[in-house]
Amino acid sequence: MALLEVKQLTKNFGGLMANDHIDLELQEGEIVGLIGPNGAGKTTLFNCIAGFYPLTSGTVKFKREDITGLPSNTICFKGIARTFQIVRVFKDLPVLDNVMVGAFNRTSSAGQARKKALEVLDFCGLTGKKAKLAGGLTIADKKRLEVAKAFATEPKLLMLDEAMAGLNQTETAEAVELVKKIRQAGTTILLVEHVMEVVMPISNRVVVLEYGKKIAEGLPDKVIHNEEVIKAYLGDKYHASRRAH
Amino acid sequence: MYSSEIIWQTILSGILMGCIYALVAVGLCLIWGLMEIVNFAHGEFLMLAMFTAFWGFSLYHLDPLLSLPFCMIILFLIGVATYFIIIKKIIKAPFLAQILATFGLGIFLRYLAQFMWSPDFRTIKNPILAGNIYLGGISLGVPQFTASLICIATFIIIYLFINRTEVGSALLATSEDREAASLMGINSDKMFALGWGIGAACLGVAGALMSNFYYIFPEVGFSFSLIAYVAVALGGFGSIPGSFVAGIIIGLVEFLSGLFIAPAFKYAFVFLIYLLVVFIRPQGLWGRY
Amino acid sequence: MGSNKKYIWLVLGAAIFLIYPLIFTLPFPRHVVIMIFLYATLGLAWNMIGGYAGQISLGHALFFGIGAYSSTLMLMKLGVSPWAGMLAGGCISVIVSFIIGYPCFKLAGHYFAIATIAIGEITQVWMLNWDWAGAAVGLTLPILPESLINLEFHSTKLPYYYIAFFLLILALLITTGIDRSKLGYYFKAIKGDLEGARSLGIHVTKYKFYALALSAFFTSICGSFYAQYVLFIDPDSVFPLMLSVVVCLVATLGGVGTIWGPVIGAFILIPISEFTRIYLGGGGKGTDLIIYGLLIIVISVYQPFGVIGIAKRFRKKESE
């Protein structure tokens, strides 16, 4: 059974077709990479699946249940969590409190939430910073916290929107380890990334978007050699060099 | 029922007063659109302008029409000073701080005025602009009529300034995207100060004009503040012509509801408009919300 | 502060305030502290929606007035005990808060604040013209024999003092409870980042309603108490914009979104108000408001987190 089934998802912004009849299926336990040039519609797709944008047409099914059009907080409760490209941490709250907010998704008891949050902090390597105000963290830690609080909601599917952007080599490697750990813990992952060296090694499958359409899908090795994909990324330069010959 | 003369009288009076509301609203819109900070002390600036004209008259026998340029300049300076002393420091502050800062300024100015000049109502006796003119059976006050003409003229000048001059374009650019504008060499600090200056100067003009026929007292600014917010919301956030037209509409509504319903409720009606606008059509009539 | 030390301070503080009116038996010192308690409770109530949930309301006098008028009208027209009237007023306020919240919560920041001002002003005008409820003349409460049931005391302020103290303690307990609970965390998340809160499963509108309802209920109770204390109410004393502003200021000065902030704010502002009225009262009402105005500016520009914010910064500097 597919965990997530996206059928013919279309999102139109008054004339701009940000997502054009996209089909996507996620199996449980996968890590799927979503790539494509800037403006391809990756974040829009996230927003549509997670209930932040209403769909123009199409359906989204999660665990066989139709979640199209549900509000974002309900979708989180049903088991899809997402992070934001520009992190949305609660900067005036300590790191622990940030994660507790996520943990409260599954419990109403503050004691339980705290316990869960401490576990998640440990899992994500943030225990040492638990009392620090989120606003004072480094960018790498903020991104880590962004993942931690989403993870604390106990999602079955975690959607990461450019969680590695802006990190240096070491930080990126650490982030990749965290993503692997999360998958090992049983959470399916859909990640948007521009950093190819990150996406390709850890993804089971890669999906490529361009101008709102899905142009390729498959194993990372196959996709990277796909002509359409190369054209999408290198575009004019490729054409120009072709013509010159 | 009311005779058609009374109705027309009310309509025209409403429009005339509306022109003044309109200029007050334009001032607020300029500031609000420029930096998304609402000037809750807007009415108090107007009150200061009115008192400036009043003291000019009482102490130096300067007619309000002549002191108009002074009021404009003094208010311009007050606007710029407010920017540098208070506003600049709260641009990045939490929301609550932004709302409270100008609110506090308004309260401070209002009660300081009351303390220094007493709550008494003052008027300017026998200004140059006085008397009535008659248009086909309807009598309109000369001060109100002249005031509305000057307000319209001021609005046109401001509109041309914003849309046809380089500085004006710089202002527009800053309001649209501060960072992009500064990348193009536009000093946003100066632009903000200019915006506050011009916004306050509008009040200088409006205040000097109103001192000809309106009561002058410390609490006078309050109702104008609130009318200004409603006008900016109705006209549409960021639209200066929108605010102007909205001001006139509000003048009309206020006077007509005062005639047909009850004078006591006229402000309540204006507020009702605000609520209707923000609930039903948040972008106002012409805005870029 | 270690929790033992904290408890000692709390007990000490409670003891001081319990004994205070027995030492200072004149009406004025008792009145000042009663007003402090009242505004502290009002500040705590405002804090629920304004401080914790971050929705700045400048129209809270609406609920204060509803409380005052509800219990008074029920007393005068139906002979109902003010305690029942207080609860009824609270319920009416909660219902009104739902009606207001529904459209208003769609508004962002400045627009929401102005909308609350607009609603407050419309209500005041309405009440000024509603003859059945006394219009501009107001309502004078009937003088009933002194008793707890009647919530009226004429020979002494002492019972008023303890009732106000009790209300404050209640508000503090509830605020503390909320601060540590899911409700509190969710409020803070909503204030911190709305979309971020949604992405973590928070039904933002539902929680805004909770915050406003709680806030409205307690503000209303204070209004009813006020009516019974002063024995006269009119639209200008219970519905004015200045009341809404002072309530907001009390919470902000002390420390918005904290448990003790409003209490500290009340302890600073109310004495200023009461004493300037006596010593500088002269030039018409409003001298204390000049100081308030300045305070508001200074706080918002230099320390939006209030006194508690200053204390925290201090503590941080010490530990560095």
Higher pLDDT pick, A233 / A123:
A123
CB B224 within 8 A of CB B44: no
Q: C164 vs chain A: nearest CA distance in angstroms?
A: 31
Residue A82 pLDDT: 94
- Closest chain A residue to C205 measured between Cα atoms? A73
**Per the domain annotation, does B285 fall within a domain?**
no
**Per the domain annotation, does B152 fall within a domain?**
yes
- Closest chain A residue to C186 measured between Cα atoms? A101
> Which residues have CB under 8 Å from C94's CB, separation 6+?
C213, C216, C217, C220
Six token digits for residue B150 = 């000057």
Element (H, E) at B233: helix B220-235
Residue A226 pLDDT: 82
* Interface contact flag, B265 C292, Cβ < 8 Å: no
User: What is the number of other CB atoms lying within 10 angstroms of the CB of residue C177?
Assistant: 11
Going by pLDDT thresholds of 50, 70 and 90, the confidence category of residue A235 is low
Across chain C, mean pLDDT equals 89
- Give the pairing of strands A188-192 and A157-161: parallel
**Per the domain annotation, does B234 fall within a domain?**
yes
Q: How many CB contacts within 8 angstroms connect chain A with chain C?
A: 79
- Closest chain C residue to B97 measured between Cα atoms? C300
CB C229 within 8 A of CB C41: no
CA B133 → CA B137, B212, B215, distances in Å?
10, 15, 21
Going by pLDDT thresholds of 50, 70 and 90, the confidence category of residue A245 is very low
Q: Label residues A109-124 b or e (16+ Cβ within 10 Å = b).
A: ebeebbebbbebbebb
**List of chain C residues whose C-beta atoms are within 8 Å of the C-beta of residue A81:** 199-200
Across chain B, mean pLDDT equals 88
Q: By mean pLDDT, which of A225-239, B3-17, B24-38, C213-227 is the weakest?
A: A225-239
Going by pLDDT thresholds of 50, 70 and 90, the confidence category of residue A241 is very low
* Interface contact flag, C293 B106, Cβ < 8 Å: yes
Q: C176 vs chain B: nearest CA distance in angstroms?
A: 22
> Which residues have CB under 8 Å from B237's CB, separation 6+?
B29, B32, B33, B283, B284, B287, B288, B289
* Interface contact flag, B265 C125, Cβ < 8 Å: yes
Whose CA is closest to C59, among C108, C120, C102?
A: C120
CA C1 → CA A27, A128, B39, C156, C175, distances in Å?
51, 21, 41, 39, 19
**List of chain B residues whose C-beta atoms are within 8 Å of the C-beta of residue C245:** 103, 107
**Which of A50, A107, A110 lies closest to C199 in CB terms?**
A50
Six token digits for residue C199 = 């992405």
CATH code of residue B153: 1.10.3470
Q: What's the rounded mean pLDDT across residues B253-268?
A: 82
Contact partners for chain B, using 3 or more CB pairs closer than 8 A, are C
How far is the C-alpha of C222 from the C-alpha of C216, rounded, in Å? 10
Residue B182 pLDDT: 78
**List of chain B residues whose C-beta atoms are within 8 Å of the C-beta of residue C286:** 110-111, 114-115
User: What are the phi and psi torsion angles at A188 (to 5°)?
Assistant: -80, 145
Assess C316–A contact: CB distance below 8 Å, yes or no.
no
* Interface contact flag, C192 A52, Cβ < 8 Å: no
User: What are the phi and psi torsion angles at C148 (to 5°)?
Assistant: -70, -40
* Interface contact flag, C196 A105, Cβ < 8 Å: no
Q: What angle, rounded to 10 degrees, do the helices at C182-192 and C158-179 form?
A: 70
Q: What's the rounded mean pLDDT across residues C201-228?
A: 95
B interface toward C at CB cutoff 8 Å? Answer: 36, 38, 86, 89-90, 93-101, 103-112, 114-115, 118-119, 226, 229-230, 233, 262, 264-265, 267-268, 271-272, 274-275, 278-279, 282
Q: What percent of chain B has pLDDT over 90?
A: 42
Residue A144 pLDDT: 93
Going by pLDDT thresholds of 50, 70 and 90, the confidence category of residue A228 is confident
**Structural domain count of chain B:** 1
Domains of chain A: 2-244 (3.40.50.300)
Which residue in this structure is represented by tokens 């305690």?
Answer: C83
Q: By mean pLDDT, which of A48-52, A128-132, A204-208, C288-292 is the weakest?
A: C288-292
The structure's pTM equals 0.88
Residue A114 pLDDT: 94
Q: What angle, rounded to 10 degrees, do the helices at B240-260 and B142-164 form?
A: 160
Residue A2, strand partner residues = A27
* Interface contact flag, B111 C299, Cβ < 8 Å: no
Q: How many CB contacts within 8 angstroms connect chain B with chain C?
A: 128
**Which of C180, C200, C204 lies closest to A101 in CB terms?**
C200
**Per the domain annotation, does B286 fall within a domain?**
no
Q: B90 vs chain C: nearest CA distance in angstroms?
A: 6
Q: By mean pLDDT, which of A11-20, C63-72, C161-170 is the weakest?
A: A11-20
* Interface contact flag, A72 C186, Cβ < 8 Å: no
Chain segment B170-224, per-residue pLDDT in tens: 888 887 777 788 788 888 888 899 999 999 999 999 999 999 999 999 989 988 9
For A107, counting Cβ atoms within 10 Å of its Cβ (0-12 exposed, 13-18 middle, 19+ buried), the class is middle
**Per the domain annotation, does B287 fall within a domain?**
no
Q: What's the rounded mean pLDDT across residues A160-171?
A: 88
Q: B8 vs chain C: nearest CA distance in angstroms?
A: 27
Residue A49 pLDDT: 93
Six token digits for residue B123 = 């008027």
- C-alpha dihedral sign at C58, B246, B111, B120: negative
Q: What's the rounded mean pLDDT across residues B21-34?
A: 91
**Domain region containing B95:** 4-280
Residue B271 pLDDT: 85
Residue C228 pLDDT: 93
Chain segment C268-298, per-residue pLDDT in tens: 999 988 887 777 654 456 777 888 889 889 9
Residue A242 pLDDT: 43
Q: By mean pLDDT, which of B39-48, B270-279, C8-17 is the weakest?
A: B270-279
pLDDT at B289 over 50: no
Tell me the residue length of chain C.
Answer: 320
Q: C283 vs chain B: nearest CA distance in angstroms?
A: 6
- Closest chain B residue to C297 measured between Cα atoms? B101
**Which of A72, A76, A90 lies closest to C188 in CB terms?**
A90
- Closest chain C residue to B88 measured between Cα atoms? C301
Chain segment B229-239, per-residue pLDDT in tens: 889 988 887 78
> CA C63 from chain center: how many Å?
10
**Which of C180, C196, C202 lies closest to A110 in CB terms?**
C180
Chain segment C112-148, per-residue pLDDT in tens: 888 898 899 889 988 998 988 888 888 998 888 888 8
State whether residue A224 is helix, strand or coil. Answer: helix
